Structure 1
């Protein structure tokens, strides 16, 4: 339940450590994470069934995993493994989840650009800690 922890990034040939602020204690973080849950396709299909399944941490983790990825409608992050970040920020710009989630929420659920594996992992952990 620490606000800040370490995330590892890199490849087998070189792993680096990055301090990550999970932001789960920010004032509106619960509201943001609940919106992620409410915008998932299962909630839109059957809200009562979706809400009743939220007591299951496996279910919640799967929903959040799906919603963090921009391949879904209202997905939080767009992955980019190129060197062209002209329409957003390079993944190295981010050092915490709250800025990403706040940008997504404040823009009325427009995908944030850009993330890579460690960014997806940090945001996923923040959403799971807060929602679960």
Structure 2
């Protein structure tokens, strides 16, 4: 088998993982319900980055501005499998039409950060941030 074959047919193109975000989400037996997250490909990351980039006019010049808050919201919604923030029931339950607003209404600030951090780690972002610090 050539090395090219290894890159053409990776073992997995997506990983999933269960993470405990909070002890506030309990099932009927009182057990903590984990969130299920998935890794994102670079192609998905590029699409999220494009959606989070705004064109603004400043002094007659058109420039691009990256909205990091919007990027994080899109990342969380795209990578969270369970609960499905895009589900109509969740959106209605939190009184919003935009799924990007559900995690912010559902989670405490620290819980949101914990979920975002777990998604970044699973998608390989964490290693890059650690390398940049060193």
> Whose relative contact order is higher, 1 or 2, with alpha carbons under 8 Å and at least 6 apart?
1
Question: Same fold per TM (> 0.5)?
Answer: no
TM-score normalised over the length of structure 1 = 0.37
